[in-house]
Structure 1
Amino acid sequence: MRVVTKQRAAMAVVVCWTVAFIVGLTPMLGWNNLWRLQQNGSLNEDLIITCQFENVISMDYMVYFNFFGWVLPPLLLMLVIYTEIFYMIHKQLNKKACATNHTDPNKYYNKELKLAKSLALVLFLFAISWLPLHIINCITLFCPTCDKPLFLIYIAILLTHGNSAVNPIVYAFRIKKFRDAFLKIWKQYFCCKDVPPEEDMPPLRAWFLSRFLPRLLSF
């Protein structure tokens, strides 16, 4: 089993941000509706158009590249992984339940089960927040004549924006280390209270507080 080091964690962050930039900037590199707007005469001499999402963003990009390429496969893969994780943890707990004198393994697997449930909740919230909008995009592409109630589109958009606000709340209430880190951040940088020295803090939390938080607060 590989140990998660700072270098590997940093590499994972770099890879995630690189993929995000590639997927997010693809429309600016040419995969958009500009050529279609030029052909049907929707552009005026000043290149001014009505700034609506479906007017400027290609649904081919949103469905085939974004949804089918970068959202649905990882979502299904994570679903399979979490199913396997829960199966293995429950299997181990059932084995240890037969031996009442082995309390430490049970405590360990119960802790792992709680953590897995918290991360699975994050995955579930991501799915219910983003799938409605992607489903609407699929309807737009495959059934252009189908009627889409405007209020449903607004709800789907609000869900996608709300997902980013919900995740920190889930982390704080479900995972003790995140809750302690958030409280430490709040006391140190917003309430101006003294906090324990970094050597008394877990390495990951101390590294986060010393490296990234001051930069974020400086913007």
Structure 2
Amino acid sequence: MVAIIVGLTPMLGWNNLEKLQQTNSTVGADLLVTCEFENVISMEYMVYFNFFGWVLPPLVLMLLIYTEIFYIIHKQLNKKVTANQTDPTRYYGKELKLAKSLALVLFLFAVSWLPLHILNCITLFCPSCENSTCLIYVAILLSHGNSAVNPIVYAFRITKFRNAFIKIWKQYVCCTEDPRVDDRPSFRIDSKERRLRHNDI
């Protein structure tokens, strides 16, 4: 719902149509608009509504949450284990590995999206500053590439995701079934059959 609201807001009126009609610099005689992003989309919308409203606050919040998670995990790992306690290292070690994987996803999100939003802020707050076209294209490419990076990170860092990706790849791309999954006998069925045979005897 949030994505729909944020994405459709320019179509509902927060755009540069009035500015284009006033200047007529990019509007042709037949009322056709040159379709360039900065000509059509308002930088106030991109910076104030999109960046300051829907990107920066969740990013800061997630950063604070992960800081708290790492603090708690390290605190638990540094606790001395008494004779009556189980060793927390095994459990919190797994939690730490998972938290590192998710923190890496958050870091890659920030690296991918912040350059584009920073360039948008420069465009809005410093109209006289000229942004390099090549730099803008690199920032756009980074923002789009973030969606392709996440599955790779999940596959390399989290075993369950890796196994699921391998299974999907074999089944739907290579069109081969995994014999370890299909041909494996069911322990419950075998146990039930043994009990029935025992009762019959």
- What is the TM-score when the length of structure 2 is the normalising length? 0.84
In the alignment, which of 42, 45, 66 is matched to residue 58 of structure 1?
42
Distance 1:174 1:100 in 2: 34
**Cα distance in 1 between the residues matched to 2:27 and 2:113:** 31
Look up the SS of the partner of 1:35 in the other structure.
helix
Match of 2:63 among 60, 73, 79: 79
Contact 2:27–2:34 under 8 Å retained in 1 = no
Residue 21 of structure 1, CA deviation: 1.1
RMSD: 1.8
Matched, 1:19 2:2: yes
Q: What is the match of residue 21 of structure 2? A: 38
Deviations 1:138-185 (A, max 9, x none): 011111001212221111111111111111110000011110110111
Q: Provide the residue aligned with 2:107 in structure 1.
A: 124
1:174 to 157, 160, 165: 157
CA change 1:65–1:87 in 2 (3 A) is same
Aligned pair count reads 180
Q: With structure 1 as the length reference, what TM-score do the two structures score?
A: 0.78
Between the aligned residues of both structures, percent identity stands at: 76
CA deviation vs aligned residue, 1:53-83 (integer Å, no higher than 9, x gap): 1000000000000000000000000000000
Give the equivalent residue in structure 1 for 2:31.
Answer: 47
1:123 aligns to what SS in structure 2?
helix
1:44 & 1:171 partners in 2: Cα distance?
48
Aligned residue for 1:44, secondary structure, equals coil
Deviation at 1:102, TM superposition (A): 5.7
Partner amino acid for 2:132? P
The separation in 1 between residues aligned to 2:83 and 2:152, in whole angstroms, is 36
Can you give the 5+ residue segments of structure 2 that lack an aligned partner in the other structure?
A: 186-201
In the other structure, the counterpart of 2:198 is none
Between the aligned partners of 2:83 and 2:23, the Cα distance in structure 1 is 75
Point out 4+ residue stretches in structure 1 off by more than 4 angstroms. Answer: 98-104
Q: How far off is 1:47 after superposition?
A: 2.4
Alignment-derived partner of residue 209 in structure 1: none
Superposition pairs of residues 155-194 of structure 1, within 5 angstroms: 155-194=138-177
Q: SS at the partner of 2:32?
A: coil
Report the CA distance shift for 1:108/1:34 in structure 2 as closer, same or farther (over 3 A): same
- Bigger radius of gyration among the two: 2
Structure 1 unaligned segments of length 5 or more: list them: 1-17, 201-219
Range with greater deviation from structure 2 (159-168 or 112-121) = 159-168
Task: Kindly provide the amino acid, as one letter, of the partner of residue 117 in structure 2.
Answer: H
